[in-house]
Structures are given as structure tokens and as C-alpha cells.
Amino acid sequence: MNSKCDKYEAIFTFADDETLMRHIDECPDCTAEHEKMQRVSDLLKEVKPVFRKQKKTNVLKAACVVLAVFVVGGISFNELNRNYDVIGHIRYGDMSIEDYGFPVDSYGLLMVD
């Protein structure tokens, strides 16, 4: 019984090109396997420029997202500061809760029974 040679992957991975080529010359199974690999390799070469272009676009998109996060983040931080000013004004302004006659604790917070 003539079983299919399965050394191609091992030689391709672990041996040098010369060993691989020598084995391919004497083994029809591996020749077929090698041709398949060449087709995949050619296909990859064909696809590579398109993929590279996509990658560049992705980097551009990522840069835009980062910029957007900084811009939106900066604006919301300013918003937050403004809100804190408002809260500070209400709490520490001319009139506190105590001035309105509400029961407060030692922190000046409204006490609820």
C-alpha cells in the first residue's frame, strides 16, 4: 500500500530551502503540496497591497477616534468643571441649606429622620 507522504509540513517548517527542494524533486506528493503552497503564496502577494491599504485606513480611523475622544473628553471635562462650579455656588454660596431653616448635620448636609 502506497500512503501519501506527510513530510512536507515538517520539512517546510524545520529544514532549510535546499532540503525542501531536494525532497520535492523526489517526492510527487510533496511536489503537489508545494505547488498548492505556491498558489497560496501568490494569492497572498496579490492581496497584500490591498490589505496594506486597508491597514493604513484603519490607522487613520483609529487616529480619528482618538482625536474625537480627546475633543469630546475635553469638552465634557469643561462641562463637568462648570457643573461643579454650579454645585459649589449652591452649596457654598450666600445661602446654605441651614440658612433656609432646614436641619443640617455637622457637614452642613440636610438631615432626614
Interface residues with Zn ion (CB under 5 A) are 5, 7, 27, 29-30
Nearest CB to Zn ion, comparing residues 2 and 106: 2
Nearest CB to Zn ion, comparing residues 7 and 97: 7
Q: Is 5 helix (H, G, I), strand (E, B) or coil?
A: coil
- Shortest distance, position 22 Cβ to Zn ion, whole Å: 11
- Shortest distance, position 6 Cβ to Zn ion, whole Å: 8
Amino acid in position 35: E
Nearest CB to Zn ion, comparing residues 5 and 37: 5
Query: What is the Cβ-side half-sphere exposure of residue 56, based on CA atoms within 13 angstroms?
Result: 6
- Shortest distance, position 43 Cβ to Zn ion, whole Å: 23
Q: How far apart are CA 29 and CA 37, in angstroms?
A: 13
Q: How far apart are CA 53 and CA 43, in angstroms?
A: 16
